[in-house]
A and B are shown apart, each in its own frame.
Chain A
Amino acid sequence: MQTSENKKLTNTQKGMKNCLFALLGLFLSLSVAANPHSDTASSGHDDQVHSEEAHNESHEEGFDAGQMIMHHIADAHEIHFLTWNAGTENESDLSIHLPVILWTNDGLKMFSSGHLYHNPVHADHGHAYQHENFIMYDEVIYYANEHGHLEFDEYGAVLNDAPLDLSITKTVVGLLLTSILILLIFLSVAKTYKRNPKEAPKGLQAWMEPLILFVRDDVVRPSVGEKKADKFMPFLLTVFFFIWIANLLGLMSFIGGYNVMGSMAVTMVLAILVFIITTYHGNKHYWMHIVWPSGVPFLIKLILVPIEVVQIFLKPIVLMIRLTANITAGHIIILAFTALIFIFGQSSAAAGYGVGAGSLIFMIFMFLIELLVAFLQAYVFTLLSAIYFGSAVEEAHH
């Protein structure tokens, strides 16, 4: 009797944890495609002949490290785990096709990205995927022109119009996972705090408290000043943990390799928020320092003021680029070591295994550094944001 009750209890706990995945399942039209996609989709379309060629061509080229790396760090409309029988007739993928949501000229359109990925078509520069009148090229969805094709200019840029792509892409999934994780962690931690306010921290709380205190005591308070720090704490704590957890998630390549903070769109939003908060809280001293720096000769003011004005915008842009570049660079290095194995493996299996052993050591080393970088970049972003906020609210000290 008691054991069954216990079992029930652990089951409900498990159920709570599974709730995360269930929620995800709702979001994603979970269609694990394990069927060979080269032959089945070929009925009826004229472009199919071309696509077949394009498809086979790409495999004859052999291993392209650059493309592989870019494919892994770029955003996609699917979460791709594995490919087997690569380059043969019955090539199969294990991937989750994510929902495509388009705000088109005719209103909202939703369909599974499986429709696209199962229907490759030929395009002038590499291969594309088509569903109805939408063509996806390099993971960007365009309207097909009146002939049902993509048009390129002489530099290879697509000329077609594009609908607003609100799809749940891989990055968005990573973003949502991060959001859910961070909410689960900190709402439960907050509950523990409310329950035993005067007890020593324990469990998850004991893991998070040093980090919260680190952000408060070593990042925000020294940069903003103790008095005004409280105002910025919620935002900076959220930014810190959001970046850190997203980075850690990105390191777990086996769950799909989300490159959330390596996506400029994500860091741009964070940087814009930093810019808005800095500008909103900027006091007289802050603006005077930019527009009319005191104690400086007039001619130097003429040079200094434009620089200061540009700096207002430059600061968040640098924040954005630094974060994206650091996270992306780390992924690229790890992927490059992986690519080495395949490049040497192409010439001979023995070379592949030999290089593989060496690469593995470097990959583990890089992975450990990436773990550090994941934290470090969250720290740097938070610290610099705090410093910008601090400069905005700093009182005149003369």
Chain B
Amino acid sequence: MVLINLLSAPAGTIIWTSVAFLIVAFLLKKMAWKPILKTLKDREEFIEESLKSAEDAKAQMSLLKADNEKLLAEARVEREKILKEAREMKESIISEAKKTATAEGDRLIATARQEIEKEKANAMSDIKKQVAALSVEIAEKILRSELDNPAKQQDIVEQHLNQSQLS
């Protein structure tokens, strides 16, 4: 008998259950499930979007990074090139300068030598001239003094004649 009571479904309980459950279901639907499910959905979308934008940012970042690296590499190559060029230029300038300097030096030396030769020649001819003039003057003076005395003039002539005879 008790078992029948257990398995029976009394109308009163059915009515109470229907009323209680329907009220609970209605209240929860309006006041709990709607906002909760909406919030969950919104949050999921928000998270999804955030993840996506983070992914995008990451991709962009890596792109930027690659760009940067490329730029950096290029800059490095450029620097190397510039440095190399500079080095080459330096060397060429130095060698050029050296060459020019040597040539100039040689030229200067040559000119100086020529000048010196010229000066020397000049000086020699000057000296020759002066010596000639001086000898003429001396000779004149000597002649004058010597030739004042006719004896002496005779002597000299003799002497010269002797000498020339000797040679």
- Hey, which chain A residues are within 8 Å of B32, CB to CB? 186-187, 189-190
A247 at interface, CB cutoff 8 A: no
Contact digits for A294-305, partner B, Cβ 8 Å, 1 yes 0 no: 000000000000
Of the four ranges (under 10, 10 to 19, 20 to 34, 35 or more), the interface on chain A belongs to 35 or more
- Hey, which chain B residues are within 8 Å of A190, CB to CB? 31-33, 35-36
A233 at interface, CB cutoff 8 A: yes
Interface positions, chain B 4-34, Cβ under 8 Å from A, are 5-18, 20-21, 23-25, 27-29, 31-34
Minimum CB–CB distance from B12 to chain A (whole Å) comes to 4
Given contacts A197-B39, A238-B29, A166 and B20 within 8 Å (CB-CB): no
Given contacts A189-B32, A242-B24, A265-B17, A166 and B1 within 8 Å (CB-CB): no
Minimum CB–CB distance from B44 to chain A (whole Å) comes to 10
Minimum CB–CB distance from B24 to chain A (whole Å) comes to 5
A350 at interface, CB cutoff 8 A: no
Minimum CB–CB distance from A209 to chain B (whole Å) comes to 8
Q: Which residue of B lies closest to A213 (CB)?
A: B40
- 30 A-B contact pairs sorted by A residue (CB < 8 Å): A74-B5, A75-B10, A138-B1, A140-B5, A140-B10, A164-B11, A165-B10, A166-B12, A168-B16, A169-B12, A175-B21, A179-B20, A179-B21, A186-B28, A186-B32, A186-B36, A190-B32, A194-B35, A194-B39, A197-B42, A198-B46, A216-B40, A237-B33, A238-B25, A242-B21, A263-B9, A263-B13, A265-B9, A266-B13, A270-B17
In the bound complex, CA of A187 to CA of B35 (Å): 10
Overall SS of chain B's interface = helix
Minimum CB–CB distance from A381 to chain B (whole Å) comes to 13
CB pair B39–A269 under 8 Å, yes or no, is: no
B37 at interface, CB cutoff 8 A: yes
Given contacts A74-B2, A234-B25, A269-B18, A169 and B11 within 8 Å (CB-CB): no
CB pair A179–B16 under 8 Å, yes or no, is: no
B65 at interface, CB cutoff 8 A: no
A340 at interface, CB cutoff 8 A: no
Give which listed residue, B21, B27, B34, B35, contacts A273 with CB less than 8 A.
B21
A268 at interface, CB cutoff 8 A: yes
CB pair B16–A166 under 8 Å, yes or no, is: yes
In the bound complex, CA of A265 to CA of B5 (Å): 11
In the bound complex, CA of A291 to CA of B126 (Å): 150
In the bound complex, CA of A125 to CA of B4 (Å): 14
Residues of B near any A CB (own CB < 8 A) = 1-3, 5-18, 20-21, 23-25, 27-29, 31-37, 39-40, 42-43, 46
Residues of A near any B CB (own CB < 8 A) = 66-67, 70-71, 73-75, 101, 125-126, 138-140, 156-157, 164-169, 171-172, 175-176, 179, 182-183, 186-187, 189-190, 193-194, 197-198, 209, 212-213, 216, 230, 233-235, 237-238, 242, 263-266, 268-270, 273, 328
- Hey, which chain B residues are within 8 Å of A209, CB to CB? 40
In the bound complex, CA of A197 to CA of B111 (Å): 99
| Most interface-central of A74, A187, A265, A268 (chain B CB within 10 A) | A265
- Hey, which chain A residues are within 8 Å of B8, CB to CB? 264-265
- Hey, which chain B residues are within 8 Å of A172, CB to CB? 12-13, 16, 20
In the bound complex, CA of A39 to CA of B12 (Å): 32
CB pair A265–B10 under 8 Å, yes or no, is: yes
- Hey, which chain A residues are within 8 Å of B11, CB to CB? 164-165
CB pair B6–A74 under 8 Å, yes or no, is: yes
CB pair A264–B36 under 8 Å, yes or no, is: no
Overall SS of chain A's interface = helix
Give which listed residue, A70, A169, A234, A264, contacts B34 with CB less than 8 A.
A234
CB pair A235–B39 under 8 Å, yes or no, is: no
Give which listed residue, A125, A183, A268, A270, contacts B28 with CB less than 8 A.
A183
In the bound complex, CA of A375 to CA of B14 (Å): 23
Q: Which residue of A lies closest to B21 (CB)?
A: A269
- Hey, which chain A residues are within 8 Å of B46, CB to CB? 198
In the bound complex, CA of A66 to CA of B25 (Å): 37
Minimum CB–CB distance from A92 to chain B (whole Å) comes to 24
In the bound complex, CA of A182 to CA of B20 (Å): 11
CB pair A70–B6 under 8 Å, yes or no, is: yes
- Hey, which chain A residues are within 8 Å of B18, CB to CB? 269
Q: Which residue of B lies closest to A325 (CB)?
A: B7
In the bound complex, CA of A345 to CA of B114 (Å): 148
CB pair B5–A139 under 8 Å, yes or no, is: yes
Q: Which residue of A lies closest to B8 (CB)?
A: A264
Given contacts A171-B13, A186-B28, A176 and B39 within 8 Å (CB-CB): no
CB pair B23–A179 under 8 Å, yes or no, is: yes
In the bound complex, CA of A140 to CA of B9 (Å): 11
Q: Which residue of B lies closest to A208 (CB)?
A: B36
- Hey, which chain A residues are within 8 Å of B34, CB to CB? 234
